Structure 1
Amino acid sequence: MDVPTTSSVPMDKLHEGGRKPLIQVTLKPGSKVQPKWRFTKFGDEASGAALAEHPEDTREQLAAIITGPQNERFAQVMANRLWARLMGRGIVEPVEDWEKGKPTHPELLQWLGREFVRNGYDAKKLVRLIMTSHAYQRATDDTLRTASPLFASPAPRRLEAEQIVDSLFAATGKPFNLEEVSLDIDGRRDLGNSISLGHPRRSWMLTSTSNERDRPSLALPRNQAVCDVLGAFGWRGSRQDPVSKRDRESNVLQPAIISNGTVGIWLTRLSDDHGITALALEDRPVDQFVDTLFLKLLTRMPTAEEKQRYTEFLGAGYADRKLSRCLSPPQPRG
């Protein structure tokens, strides 16, 4: 590799005024620089070559060293991030800075990392291990504002953006019917040459529509509507620029976009492919219908006052409704 000829510093300018320059020039423009392996901290080049499937590929060497069982840092970083996502606070905090942050429970972090390696780097198994622990299953302390480093009790937390959107669709039974997601890396590809990410089935499969067309909100209106809701709750559509911690502060846009936005209309307006429509067509008394609605939407039974109020509200004309299951199929994607 050659040092660019334009990479130079006018030293005569730095010496003007009699001060010592803060920059020391060690390479001359146009000189050749030999590449050097910079990851001796995690292992040497020989061990990486021995573990890699293609020893001549330095990228595979690096991957082999990072994921090698002797390198506990990678497994502990992954375990710490999953722990922080589930518990509200990492064992090392902040999760992205291991130089300043020190583990509050180093033995626990080491054990979680080794379990992660022992299970073949399976994130789902590590999540299951944490979620079945006593630490995770303790009752929430409503007096806490943030998670305690002792993890004696979890603090109340808002759902993540993806959890909010997916829960709304799951509770109402509305199909997550969006357009195909494609990725245009360099911003100059035509429609037939973009990278297809398929039809999203969950909100985490979405990405920003800014790389789609010149006017993405008109090209992919359904995707854009869901992305707008996700963005109001701290989601960022750029997969190339992830963040470790999102903004979780409440704002006036959040209830407004759910109540008045396009997605809110999909979820609250009954249609042939709506889950509540299917419930209403079942032959059951109105009081049982109210119980089913509360269980489906709020995961609890209604109080006596709530049951009386909604039974009276829905009772008028309920017995005379048409019980027909001949619903038109949902519109195809595209």
Structure 2
Amino acid sequence: MVASRLIILGISLFWVGVSWAGPEMDAVMVEGVRTIDRRVASWLKAEKKKVPEISDDAVFLRRAFLVTVGRIPTAEEARAFLDDTDPEKRRGLISHLVHAPGYSWSMTNWAFDLLRVTDRKPGFNGSFEPYRAWVARAMVENRPWDQFTREVIAAKGNPWSLEGAPVGYYLRDRGMPLDNLANTTRIFLGSRMECAQCHDDPFGTTERRDFYELAAFTHGLHEADRSPMRPLWDELEEGDRRDSWEYRVARELWDRIYGMSVVGGGEGRIRLPEDYQYRDGDPGEWIGGRTPFGKTVRMSERSQANDGRAQLAEWVTERTGEQFASVIANRMWARVMGRPLYDPVDEYQDAEDTRFPELVRDLSRLMVALDYDLQRFQWVLLNTRAFEFAPNPEVGRFGNGEDLMGRPLARLAAEQIWDSLVTLAKGDPDQVEVPTSDGRFRVNGRLVGGGTLSYENVYAEVMELGSEAAFRKYFADLVKATQSEGSGGGEESSMVAMGPRGGSGGRGGLVRACFLPSPAPRDHLLYVFGQSDREIVEGGSREPNVGQVLTLMNGFVQKQLVENGDAQVFTCLEGVEDARERVRRIYLAVLGRPPTDEELSWMMDEVRISGSEAWRNIVAVLVMSSEFVFIQ
């Protein structure tokens, strides 16, 4: 049990730290750091603001870890950094972190939240695993953001293939094409156009016709023609055969082959809705695609095209002026500095309309100069003096003018809390292989063709079947194969795309948040601490609630840390007899810093009173402290 006197003391606990070395920087990156530092210094001078102090090593280390790799440092990593006397160790740490595996997994969490990547959707019985694995792979490969954007918007092809997997972006919103378009403009262009689905935007300049002209570029997406399979499916559905093996095979084809098809490149024209109420068009009238800002792209309302989404992707990434670059630059600034330069982060503002026009413009230019490389861009931000400024509790208060004077105090995101607790439980959580999609075709958990047949191949073959007779023959051969060949685990083994092979516990164990179900179940720590439900863009919350306190006191922390003698936070004490050094190591593991003299005195009192139980009590109280769940 946690020693209540330690909680009553209300210990004021603080900060944190690890290792380094990384690839070379280039001239554009170095100049980017200098430019940002000059802009911030000029702003401070013009506003007659005192230059903020620089954070100490412990604060810098914990901040750098949480921002870049999404977790706290281990005790060993903290000790290595804090004991190092190299004056360039901060630069070395940043280079190490942005090229560590944890950077990719932290960015995967970011991308999942932004794109609303989910494992399930009501009414959809296909699989989002190929899409989910594709997004994660893009983060691991550090795919340039403009390329990533084009691949998402113009996605086409086999949903189980490496090239076609991003069609999952449209499967995510199947049946809601207008909502999908609204999310596209919000995510990639910072344009909130959802209101214009129903009426002219009373708070902006977007008219309803503008929205439908843009929707024309993506209009016409549909499933592949199911007519070759339909007669057989109806026979199995209507007859008393739902428990048959044939039905199970057919169900797999119906849901995970036809049900995951995305056909159509975007017709480039659309009919105005029947309730259209403005004078610039008639209900049901055909209108052609037209972009509402940037360099105009038009498509004809008189003929149906098949490349509307490709044209839309090109317009978004290359013909919207500085808007596309500015929005992603502002998102990265918010990720690193804790607050965007213009807010909300998904409502684009022209540089001249922001409080920091020169800086906003410089960041957009830097993003373009770095070819939309988010890793290198964040390296630049992480190496600025602004990132090193001491935390400032005044940042973010409306109208106080403190925005460039230090990172705001903020509670950790749910994923950061989970990944940090996993670090305390098992050490560095990134010693896993890069996840790949299993993709082998299964029926009721049984591998087909001895595991050699893949969903990708089955999809390609089924899409080539042009008649009922051809489908029936293919189906009969497939049924025979599934009855006679191979075996597999249960249903849950059908896809293991995001479970790190060789990792502990797979999708349900002590692994990074990005490997767990998306979103997490309602009883999971991630849900309790506000992980997005993946219904809206960046829907996560950092608001406190009673459940969070109870979870830290009685849930994961108690089971996996306090009562688990094999947890890394305790194994780092092995061979250490001196009680003071044990306290120091626990502090390094949990908070990334050594205890103050006063804190050490409190903890030594606890050791004298509670004996061997003291170590568990100390771990519990530190993890439940505000310092642990906040980033400075």
Q: TM-score, normalised by structure 2?
A: 0.37
Residue 588 of structure 2 corresponds to residue 295 of structure 1: yes
Q: Any stretches of 5+ residues in structure 2 without a counterpart?
A: 1-219, 221-268, 299-304, 438-443, 445-490, 501-506, 615-632
Q: Could you say which residue in structure 2 is the equivalent of 1:104?
A: 355
Tell me, yes or no, if the aligned pair for 1:65 and 1:71 is still in contact at 8 Å.
no
Q: Counterpart of 1:122?
A: 373
Matches within 5 A, 1:40-79: 41-45=293-297, 57-68=307-318, 71-79=321-329
Structure 1 residue 194: deviation in Å? 6.0
The one-letter code matched in structure 2 to 1:241 is I
Report the Cα distance in structure 2 between the residues aligned to 1:139 and 1:194, rounded to whole angstroms.
45
- For residue 513 of structure 2, the aligned residue among 203, 226, 229 is 203
1:79/1:3 CA distance change after superposition, 3 Å: closer
The answer to whether the aligner puts 1:236 opposite 2:532 as a matched pair is yes
1:123-159 per-residue CA deviation (whole Å, 9 max, x = no partner) reads 1222222222222221123455638554223332211
The answer to whether structure 1 residue 279 and structure 2 residue 572 are counterparts is yes
Q: 2:291 aligns with which of 39, 62, 82?
A: 39
Q: What is the CA–CA distance in structure 1 between the aligned matches of 2:606 and 2:384, rounded to whole Å?
A: 40
Distance change in 2, residues 1:3/1:287 (3 Å): closer
The DSSP-based 3-state class of the residue aligned with 1:71 is: coil
- Which of 320, 334, 343 is the equivalent residue of 1:84? 334
Moved more, 294-303 or 167-176: 167-176
Distance 1:279 1:194, change over 3 A: closer
Equivalences for residues 304-323 of structure 1 within 5 A: 304-312=600-608
Task: Tell me how far apart the structure 2 counterparts of residues 181 and 257 of structure 1 sit (CA, whole Å).
Answer: 32
Query: Closer, same or farther in 2 for the Cα pair 1:299/1:306, shift >3 Å?
Result: farther
Q: How does 1:253-264 map to 2 (within 5 A)?
A: 253-262=547-556, 264=558
Instruction: Give, in whole Å, the separation in 1 of the partners of 2:359 and 2:565.
Output: 50
When structure 1 is superposed on structure 2, of 151-160 and 107-116 the one drifting more is 151-160
Q: Which residue of 2 is the match for residue 153 of structure 1?
A: 406
Contact 2:294 2:321 in 1 (8 A): yes
Report the alpha carbon displacement of residue 67 of structure 1 after superposing the two structures with TM: 2.3
| Whole-angstrom CA distance in 1 between matches of 2:518 and 2:415 | 14
Going from structure 1 to structure 2, the CA distance change for 1:255 and 1:69 (only over 3 Å counts) comes to same
**Paired residue for 2:15?**
none
CA shift, 1:309, in A, is 2.1
Partner Cα distance (1:73, 1:3) in 2: 26
Find the aligned partners of 1:197 and 1:137 in 2 and give their Cα distance. Answer: 35
Bigger RCO (CA 8 Å, 6+ sep): 2
Deviation at 1:115, TM superposition (A): 1.2
Native 8 Å contact 2:573 2:585 kept in 1: no
Tell me the distance in 1 between the aligned counterparts of 2:363 and 2:383. 13
Q: 1:255 and 1:28, CA in 2 relative to 1: closer, same or farther beyond 3 A?
A: closer
Q: CA offsets, 1:60-84, max 9 Å, x none?
A: 3322332238732111001111222
Mapped contact 1:116–1:126 kept (Cα < 8 A)? yes
Report the alpha carbon displacement of residue 299 of structure 1 after superposing the two structures with TM: 2.0
Does the 8 A contact of 1:169 with 1:267 survive in 2? no
Measure the CA separation in 1 of the matches of 2:531 and 2:613. 43
**Identity across aligned pairs (percent)?**
24
Aligned Cα root-mean-square deviation (Å): 4.2
Please give the alpha-carbon distance, in whole angstroms, between the structure 1 residues aligned to 2:391 and 2:524.
30
1:241–1:130 distance in 2 versus 1, CA, 3 Å:
same
| Closer, same or farther: CA 204–196 of 1 in aligned 2, 3 Å | closer
Which residue is 2:193 aligned to? none
Counterpart for residue 165 of structure 1: 418
Q: Retained in 2: the 8 A contact 1:138–1:154?
A: yes
Does the 8 Å CA contact 2:424/2:561 hold for their aligned counterparts? no
Aligned-pair CA distance for 1:89: 2.8
Please report how far the alpha carbon of residue 170 of structure 1 lies from its aligned counterpart in structure 2 after TM superposition. Answer: 1.6
Distance, in Å, in 2 between the alignment partners of 1:270 and 1:96 is 43
Residues 181 and 206 in structure 1, CA contact (< 8 A), matched pair in contact too: no
Q: Which has the higher helix share?
A: 2
CA distance in 2, matches of 1:314, 1:256: 23
**Conserved 8 A contact 2:422-2:429:** yes
Cα separation, 2, equivalents of 1:146 and 1:104: 14
Once residues 135 and 266 of structure 1 are traced to their aligned partners in structure 2, the CA distance between those partners, rounded to angstroms, is 37
CA distance change for structure 1 residues 202 and 3 in 2, over 3 Å: closer, same or farther? Answer: closer
Partners in 2 of 1:163 and 1:110 — Cα distance? Answer: 31
Change (3 A) 1:205 1:195: closer
Q: Is the 8 A contact 1:290 1:310 kept in 2?
A: no
Structure 1 length-normalised TM: 0.64
1:71-110 superposed Cα distances (whole Å, 9 cap, x missing partner): 3211100111122233333222222223699321121111
Aligned partner of 2:538: which letter?
V
CA contact (8 A) 2:414 2:529 kept: yes
Q: Distance in 1 between matches of 2:613 and 2:348?
A: 64
Structure 1 spans left out of the alignment, 5+ residues: 10-20, 47-54, 183-188, 210-222, 319-334
Q: How many residues end up aligned between the 2 structures? A: 270
> CA separation in 1, counterparts of 2:281 and 2:392?
58
Distance 2:313 2:283 in 1: 33
Which one-letter code corresponds to 1:123 in the other structure? L
Q: Relative to structure 1, is the Cα distance of residues 241 and 270 closer, same or farther in structure 2, using a 3 angstrom cutoff?
A: same
> Is the 2:415–2:513 Cα contact (8 Å) retained in structure 1?
yes
Whole-angstrom CA distance in 1 between matches of 2:612 and 2:605? 12
